[in-house]
Amino acid sequence: MNKFFVIVLLYLIPSFIFGQIENNEMVDQEVDGHFFSEKHNKEIASVKRPDKSLQEHFDEAYQAFNSDRNVRVGKGIKLHPPLPTIYKEGEMSGLKLENDVLTPAEFEKINYFEAQSWVAKKDGKFGALNYGGEVAIPFVYSNLFQFKEGQISDYQVRHHNPKEKKEVLSLVISRYVAQDAATQKFGIIDGFNRLVLPFEYDKIEINHDYKYLTVEKNGKVGILDFKIKPIVPMEYEQVKKSNRIFWAVTQNGKTGLLQDEKIIVPLEYKFINPHILPCQKNKTVPTFFIASKGGKAIGLLNQEGLSVLPFEYQNIRPMLPIRGFSKPGNDCSYLFAVLKNEEWKVFDKDGKELVSSGKHMMREFLPLKNGKTIFFEFATDQQILIDPNGKVLEFKKHMLISTGYEFRDHKKNLEQKHQGKILLAMIFDQPNRKYTHYILDDGSILEME
């Protein structure tokens, strides 16, 4: 009887041990890269993020989300507790849940909870912890910067709990720019430490304002959107955002403009800046370009890229009509204040000189019905006005120019008094709270009686 028992026991023990090993191996295999073994959780990302539908990625992330909420505390588990907090011991940080310690204070830094993870720093390297303080992204990166590939409201999935859906989606669309501590190369990973973009880039920078990534490899620069789709091909020496919708691209020291993957201004300039005026209806087409071909001299190009002012000026500033005289949908008129040899002048959009303003840079203008113009500069210490005949008038500081749209009740009497001439604007002395001059449509500038 005893011999039989021993023989059976010797037979069962190896089977039990090997059975446990097989089960553990199966656990690592059946998750198919979706929860990683301890071995994977100590290495940089090597498994590629699988190409699945949004719903499949959501369902996968929901399993991790639910598992994360079962927080291990000692030998027990707390189901869906409140968010853990960061605690300090000297200069080091850890996580605790109410009075229970989840992690030792072994981190140099723990950032705030974002996209269902805590980005942290340990032994000089960055990684991330999940909700309950377990390692989600291993601490093998020199840098780790989080961004989301889109807005949560743009994604539609099936789920019974709206709050949970929002939290899980934040995990699904979360991405990290990571730098491999061993090679110092940059790549992009997801919240499960899976590859989105391989570690082969010399630099990856995030622009959160305009939602794009600047990537650099072997001296060439390109632009990706947050979904890792190319916006500007990686073939330029330098790429910069220009006026929201354009890209200034540089090759062999020459710069041009790219829009919607097409070159709209050839690469011929040291720099070129497109200008879209506030009064324009079409906000996708530049009105003009200010550019330089070298040195400090700049010039002006029209909408077609043809020269309006030669490359010989120190400064070129666009001028708009005084407020109330140019609105979206109205005639979009503009002029230019131009500096050359320490003298400011005003030119029209065709490059015709209108007036010299000497040391004063004119900032706005008032168009008259007779085709003439009055020019203004609102400096901090005085107001400068140039009448249609080129006469310079200087007013005290705190003077305001009020357009005729702002005092309709007074216009009729003043127009009758001055033989039908239309009142365009009045100059208001702010400290003394009274009007001092008014401007008529023939350019007359009269003192108030």
pLDDT digits (tens, 9 = 90+) for 383-439: 787 877 787 877 765 556 655 444 455 555 555 555 556 566 667 676 677 767 767
pLDDT at 115 over 60: yes
pLDDT digits (tens, 9 = 90+) for 308-319: 999 999 999 999
Q: Residue 142 contacts by C-beta under 8 Å, 6 or more apart in sequence?
A: 125, 126, 179, 180, 181, 184
User: Alpha carbon of 208 to those of 150, 201, 212, 225: distances in Å?
Assistant: 11, 19, 7, 11
Place 231 in a pLDDT band, splitting at 50, 70 and 90: very high
pLDDT of amino acid 66: 85
Alpha helices in 136-251 (DSSP H): 162-172
289-311 per-position pLDDT tens digit? 999 998 889 999 998 889 999 99
Q: Which residues pair with 222 in a beta bridge?
A: 215
pLDDT band at residue 445 using 50, 70 and 90 as cut-offs: confident
Rounded Cα–Cα distance for residues 359 and 343 (Å): 6
Residue 138 pLDDT exceeds 70: yes
Nearest to 243 by CA among 279, 277, 195: 277
Q: What is the pLDDT of residue 185?
A: 98
* pLDDT of amino acid 28: 35
> Lowest mean pLDDT: which of 89-98, 201-210, 215-224, 354-363?
354-363
Which pLDDT score is estimated for 210? 93
CA pair distance 144, 191, nearest whole angstrom = 11
- Whether 19 shows a pLDDT value over 50: the answer reads no
CA distance 327 to 402: 16
What mean pLDDT comes out for the span 375-380? 74
Tell me if 206 sits within 8 A of 147, measured CB to CB. yes
Q: What does residue 100 show for φ and ψ, rounded to 5 degrees?
A: -100, 130
Could you give the CA distance from residue 329 to residue 391 in angstroms, rounded to a whole number?
A: 32
pLDDT tens digits, 156-176: 999 999 999 999 999 999 999
Residue 433: the pLDDT is: 72
Q: How far apart are CA 273 and CA 256, in angstroms?
A: 9
Task: Name the more confident of 15 and 268.
Answer: 268
**For residues 357-383, average pLDDT:** 79
pLDDT (0 to 100) of residue 123 = 97
79-90: average pLDDT: 91
pLDDT attached to residue 394: 76
User: What is the pLDDT confidence band of residue 20, given thresholds at 50, 70 and 90?
Assistant: very low
| Confidence label for 75 from pLDDT (cuts 50, 70 and 90) | confident
Q: Which residue has better confidence, 362 or 421?
A: 362
What is the pLDDT, as a whole number, of residue 153? 94
Flag whether pLDDT at 338 surpasses 90.
Answer: yes
Model confidence at 40, pLDDT cuts 50, 70, 90, reads very low
For residues 251 and 220, give the distance between their C-alpha atoms in angstroms, rounded to a whole number.
Answer: 9
Nearest to 148 by CA among 174, 172, 113: 174
